[in-house]
Structure 1
């Protein structure tokens, strides 16, 4: 739910969603469907936002309190528009407050990431989501691998031509994260273990999928899988 303070402050679920849930007797993305966030999606695309960071966005009070629409920070827009809310609040020094923002609920996380996918290069995001769901439901690893390879093969060539190699890994991670998050599964970014952090972990129907992102042009092929095995990222789930 939405929170306007630290963990001691009670969180509130969106009343618009609650009323429509009671009226229709079924769950749905009612609040998100009330307005199409075209401006927000365009802004996040133009600013090259790393989508896995959206659920643990670190910021400060001054950025959240901006009201100049012509010069608004990403932090302020996401917070004031209701796409992110306060998860934690710390005051390491008197008068200096640090905030960690995140999605208020699954509806916002799922719907926003689905809306962002076309800007990341997925032209038919709902169809791709259905394909992903089918492979995960059947625990079809070969099908999942082929699906993800086809997904990246279909990314616009212009993106590769216009972006330096240093940004590839971040873009791949954004596509992966938003694709899985749009499905509504449990996605954990930088999942910690006693050996370090794996880039992304997905929990779907009791099956755990671990992802480590590497750019082949910078490291030999297979280094990501080698790192997952060497550091025992899967041990905590066994």
Structure 2
């Protein structure tokens, strides 16, 4: 069976994404067993950093979404933390909590890439929903224009993922900096913080790479059909 070079790259990116997910869970679990010297919970750390940044209007709440459902909700100005992070006192809990606070700080400072991501979200959401249907319809009905429209919509979703990369990396950078500056972790504990955050960042890299390769493949198919 002959595989197109882009198919091989997509499979490699998929493999990387699966490995990255395993890495995230493994690192999170490993450093969940290491208590931070500050003995503060993730919720305590999130609240402390927010207050130090003057973000007293941003709330810290418990997330009911399960493990690793942690996120910052810009519309509600709320950092939501999963059970293991909200109540946990581990290196993993502090890393994740500080990362989500990093997004709150980005929101407050109008960080350019975050603003752009918010603006792209409606287009990305529309593209991720409609593009697959347009691709299928275009191939089945042999309507090249439908494939072209699907590519345009899918491009918006891919662009959203590309823009997400610097947003996530910047949030992690802010997290490590604030944890150290405020004395919430020691220099030795930063190693564990870095491993948890770097593993999470790798998942974004892998998923973005896979989306970019898929887009390139669809563009090549579209050009060949024309």
User: Shorter-chain-normalised TM-score: which range?
Assistant: under 0.3
As a proportion of its length, which structure holds more helix?
2
Q: Which has the larger radius of gyration?
A: 2
Structure with the higher strand share, 1 or 2 = 1
| TM-score normalised to structure 2 length | 0.26
Indicate the structure whose relative CO is greater, using CA pairs within 8 Å and at least 6 residues apart: 2
